[in-house]
Structure 1
Amino acid sequence: MRPSAGKWLRTLGLTLAAFAGGVVTSHLARATSQAQSPYAPFEQLARVLVLVENQYVEPAQRSKIVEGAVKGMVAELDPHSAFMNAEEFSAFQEETGGRFGGIGVEVDFRDEAPMVIAPIEGSPAERAGIRSGDQIVAIDGKPTRGERLDRLITMMRGAAGSKVKILVRRPGVAEPISFELKREEIHVTSVVAKRLDKDVAYIRLKQFQEGTHEELLRSASKLRAASKTPLRGVILDMRNNPGGLVDEAEGVADEFLGEGTIYSTRHRNQVVDEARATSGGAFASLPVVVLVNEYSASSSELVAGALQDNRRATLIGNTTFGKGSVQTIFELPGGAGMRLTTMRYYTPSGRSIQAQGVRPDVLIQPAKGGTPAEVMRERDLEGHLDAEETALGGGSQSVITIAGTVLEMSRDVPSDPSKGKDFVLSVGYQTLLKAVPVTR
C-alpha cells in the first residue's frame, strides 16, 4: 500500500514535537555540542530568518520567507519533488483532474511564442474561430515573447465566466487578429481513438489523469461498435505522454494483460507494493504495438515496460525519458500541498527505469550524419535519482534509420498509416499487420 497523507502528516507532527522537546533538552544538557545536535541546521535557519527580517533593505514578509525556505528544502531533494502553495496546489489538482477554467487551446512553444496546436472541440476558442497554427502574441495586452510557457498558460486560465483578450498572428493574414473570450470549464480528454483499415484500432494516450481508464473502456466500446468485423490488433501510441496518475496507468495496463505483474514499487529498498493484472482485459487477446519516444515519461514508461516484459507488445520508436520514480501527493494546512518522491517503480522483470528509460524493440533513428534534435532526459536533470545497475531490457533490438533528423508525430491519423507522413506510426502499422495477416 502507498503511504497515506495522514500517516505522513502525523509523522511530521511527531517530528516537530520532538524538535521542540530537543531544544529544551539541548539547553539543559550543555554537554551536547552544537555539531552533535540533530537540530543545528534549524538553529541556522532561525538565525538567517532573524537576520533577513532585521537587516534586509526593505521590510520582509515572514510568510513569504518561510514559504521560500520550504520550497527550497523540498526542491533540493530531486527534480520531481515540490512544495506548492494554495494557489499552485489548486492548479495542480485541476490539471490532474482534466478540468480547469480556460479558453480551450492546446499550445506548444514555437519561435519563442506559444502556437496553437489545436483548439479543443466545443471550447470558447473553437467557437470564436481560433485555428491551428495561430501564434499567440499577446494575452490581455501583455506580449508573450520571452515568457515561460507555464506562465502563459496560467494567464489564459481563470475562473469560468471571466474574460481574457487574445491577440494572434495567423499565417497569410497581414494584421494580428484580436479575440475576446469568456472562459469556461474545460474538460481535456486523455484518449484519442480511431478504427483504421484492416480492423486495426489506433489508441493515443495523451496523459494519465483522473478518468483515463474509463475513457479507454468507452473508446474500446466505440471502436468495436464501428464495424461488424472484430478488431484484429491495437496500436497504442504513448509518444509525448508525460505520465500522470499511477493508478490510472495500472488500470490501462490491465486492459492489455490477462495475467502477470504490471509493476512493483520499493521504498528504501523494501518492496512496498506489487500490482498484478486481472483476467478479462478489453484488449488482452489482441496483438499490440506500442509507440514511444524520448518524451514518453513516468506512467507511460510503466505501461510500456509492463507490456514489453510480459511479451504482450512490440515497442517501436526511441528510448523513453527515464523517470522511474513515484510521487505521493500530501495535502498540507492552509490549502497547500506537496509532491514528494516516495518510491521507485520496477517493471515485471525487476528492471529499474530510473535515469535509463525503456528501450524499444525497434529503434528508429536518423541516418548517419543526421543531427537529432536536442533532447533533455531524466539523467540530464540536476539532482536526479541515480540509475541502478539493471539491464535496459527489451531483448534483441532492430534498428531502422531514416534520412530525416526529427521524427514528428502527426495529429491527423489516416485510415492507412502506411501512406501517411508519420514514419513511426507507419512502421508500427505495418509491423502489426505482419504479426496478424488480415484479409478483407
Structure 2
Amino acid sequence: MFGLRALKETQEHTHSFYAASANTATAYPALTGDKQADVVVVGGGFSGVNTALELAERGFDVALIEANRIGWGATGRNGGQVIGGIGHTPERFKKSIGEAGIRDIYQMGIEARDVIRERVERYDIQCDLKWGYCDVALKPRHMKQFAEWQAFEKTIGNPHPYTLLDREEIKTYVNSDRYLGGLHNTANGHLHPLNLCIGEAQALNALGGAIYEQSRVVVIEPGALPVVRTEAGSITAKTVVLAGNAYMGGLVPKLSKQVLPSASSVIATAPLSPELAQQILPGDVAVCDPRTALDYFRLSADRRLLFGGLSNYTGMEPKNLKGVMYKKMTQVFPELENTAIDYAWSGWIGIGINRMPQLGQLSDNIHYIQAYSGHGVAPTHMMARVTAEKIAGESSRFEAMANIPHMAFPGGPLLGRAILAVGMTYYKALDLL
C-alpha cells in the first residue's frame, strides 16, 4: 500500500497537462457590487457553464459565478473521455420514475454525447474531439458482460454499432497483451475537457452571459428573489442553480451530505514518437477496463499517453503519485518503461450512494446538479440541458431525474468514506475472481 497526502489547491489551475495546453487563460472579473439577473449559476464546470449557456441561448439574462477559474475542478482534470449513459441501472427506481422515466434516462444517455458534438460544431470549439472508444476485458466473464451490453444497446435504440472483439481483434485498437478482448464503438470518444469548457464559457459570454471568476459564494439567501453573496458582491435573481458538485463544501449542508468527494488521478507522459503511439494505441481510442477501481487511458493530440485511475474514497492522493501511476501504466504497456512522465495531478469527483446524478430543487427557484460518480463529461451536458429546460418550462424530462430518491451519507463524511471503502473492497475482491 502507498502513503497518502491531501490535495494541495490554489485559486489557479492545478499543474495538469490540460492547464499547460489550454487554448487561452481565462481572466473574467471578480464579482463586486450588487447586481441582478434572471438566473445565477454557481460553479464554472461543465454543469454550470452549460446550464448557463443553454439558458442564454433561450434569451435569459444569466450570470455565472466561479470560486476559482473556469474548469478548475473535475471538469478540467478528468480523463477527457466522452462516454454516454446516465448513471447506472435506472430500473432500480421504477417505483419512483415509472417505465417512462426509465426510457427517458436511457435516451438522455444517448443524447448526452450529441450535445457535445453540437456545442463543438456550433461554436467552433477547438478541443481535439475524436470519436472511438473501447471497453477492454481482463477476464472471460467481462466478455460475456460485453456481449450482453452489445445486445442491450440495440434494445434502447442506440444508432451506433457496438462491435465485440476477440484477443487478436482488440489489438487493432489497443495493443496490449493484458486484454482478452473488448467492445468497440464510435458513439463514445475523447477530447481536451478544459478547452471544451473554456470554449463553452466563451460562447456564453458572447451571448451576453456575465461570468465572474475568483468569486467564492459565501451564502445563499432564499426567498421570492434569492440572493447569492460572495465576499465582495451579490447577485439577486429569479432563479439559482447550484453546480459546484464535489467542490461545494458546506455551502448547502443538505447537498454536501449527499455527495462524497473522492480522489482520482491522472498522469501524462512526454510526447511519444508517432511509431510508439501507433504501436500501443493503433485505434487512437479512449479505453476503460470494467473493474471497480478501473484504469482509463487515451492519447492526447500531441501523442502523450494520458493514464488515469486510482480512485479512492479517502479524498487524498498517493505521496508518490507519478511512481504509483507509472507502475500501473507499464503493466498495461511495458513498452513505456523508459518514458518520462511530464504531468501528474489529482482531483475530486462527487460520489453519490446510488451512483445516479443528483438533480433537483431545494425550493421552487433554487435548483442543484451534482454527483456524477466519476462519469461526467457527457452526462453533465445532458443534466445542464434538462435543468435549463425545466427553468424555461419546456420539458418534463427533469422529473425523470428529480424523482430518483437520494440518501445522505450516514454519519457524515468520515463514516461515509468508511462505508464506501468497505464497499469498494468487496467489489475489488469480486474483480479478482
TM range (shorter): under 0.3
**Does 1 or 2 have the higher relative contact order (CA < 8 Å, sep 6+)?**
2
TM-score (norm 2): 0.25
TM-score (norm 1): 0.25
Structure with higher Rg: it is 1
